[in-house]
Amino acid sequence: MIEVPESCQGCGACCRFDWMQLEPGDVVPARFMGEHEGQAVMVGLMPEWRCPALDASRNCAIYDQRPACCSRFVRGGEGCLRALRLAQSFPMESA
């Protein structure tokens, strides 16, 4: 049974990926942007695939500017549960 945190603050389990495609209308600071096959993306940082905008406290450093796909993400939803399960077997070592 996966326990869903009461808040996303300090979790960040779903903020891990190899790359995440940005959508038209997303306005992400340039320092967090990359390119994959000609598309604007955010690239996860090795070795933990952390989003470059996830700060040391595991909060989103660009919360008000986060991409649309992050805004749509639902705490307790299927993707959240999948991320929390992955974090159990591959926890983030740093804060």
Say which amino acid occupies 32.
Answer: F
Closest approach of ligand SF4 to the CB of residue 36, in Å: 15
Check residue 8 for interaction with ligand SF4 (CB under 6 A): yes
d(CA 24, CA 82): 26
Residues 6 or more apart in contact with residue 80 via CB below 8 angstroms: 4, 13, 14, 73, 74
The interface with ligand SF4 within residues 49-88 (CB under 6 A) comprises 51, 53-54, 60, 62, 66-67, 70, 73, 75, 80, 83-84
Residue with the two structure tokens 């955010």: 42
Q: Which residues bind ligand SF4 (CB under 6 A)?
A: 4-5, 8, 11-15, 51, 53-54, 60, 62, 66-67, 70, 73, 75, 80, 83-84
